[in-house]
Amino acid sequence: MMDEFDDYEERHPFDIDVHALVLTNLKLALDGIDRLEQEEITSYVRETDNDEATQQSFISWIQGQHENLRTAAIHLALVGLVTRFHHWLVTLANSLRDDTDKTFDKSVQQEMHFLNNNFKSSPHQPRDFAKWIDVRDSVIHADSQAAWQHEGKLRGVESQFTHIGELHFTATDLQDAFQKMLWAIAWYEGKTDDWYEAKHGPTLLIRGQPPNKS
């Protein structure tokens, strides 16, 4: 189901990082849910003598419960993806800061604003990534509701990510978020490397991680 994430011929370290910490775990979770669903259906059919209509009704209920588990797994994967994206943004932004100015408490949007202030030609705008931050916050802070109150203000996710008043973020949505974040990280990293090389001379990545530049 998650094979669409394996299309990159030359894998960027962010791609490898996200697969190792997020997407592989999601694939394992979805595979496990599929197996559990089939086992429960098989067991029910084998052990019951209900009429066909009753059986189908209960099988549909089982399928619905496991679809909820799939949705929850994908939602949690988005949380992990945003977390890794934020980590890489912080690392790249801090590589431009003096040691006394390094920080780890800025948000995704704040770090993107900082990077964009340094790289004026950036095609990546914080507002374009806000929809995934909203999804992350819905999962973490609002029990995956489509809208919620935060500090007296109404917050919500985009309508494309909702179903009957709740968050519904799909594997296709996750793929889109991943591709956009991968593109952004690769772009910022290239610009950061150019900046660092102009200031300090050539440097090498260590084990595929952004260098600890100062």
**How far apart, in Å, are the Cα atoms of 151 and each of 67, 111, 148, 155, 156?**
33, 23, 10, 10, 13
Q: Which residues pair with 155 in a beta bridge?
A: 148
- Residue spans of beta strands (DSSP E) within 34-183: 147-150, 153-156, 162-163, 166-167
**What's the confidence (pLDDT) of residue 3?**
54
**Token pair in block for residue 174:** 């996750």
**What's the confidence (pLDDT) of residue 196?**
87
**What's the confidence (pLDDT) of residue 211?**
53
**What's the confidence (pLDDT) of residue 199?**
84
The CA distance from 210 to 13, in Å, is: 9
The answer to whether 161 and 62 have CB atoms below 8 angstroms apart is no
Residues in Cβ contact with 97 at an 8 Å cutoff, skipping those fewer than 6 apart: 103
Which residues of the chain fall short of a pLDDT of 50?
A: 1-2, 5, 8, 206-208, 214
**What's the confidence (pLDDT) of residue 209?**
54
Q: Among all chains, which residue has been given the structure tokens 């993806």?
A: 81
**What's the confidence (pLDDT) of residue 179?**
97
Return the biggest CA–CA distance within the chain: 77
Q: Write down the pTM of the prediction.
A: 0.86
**What's the confidence (pLDDT) of residue 212?**
57
Residue 57 phi, psi dihedral angles, 5° rounding: -65, -45
**How far apart, in Å, are the Cα atoms of 196 and each of 65, 95, 116, 152?**
51, 8, 16, 43
Report which of 171, 128, 134, 177 is spatially closest to residue 155, judged by C-alpha positions.
134
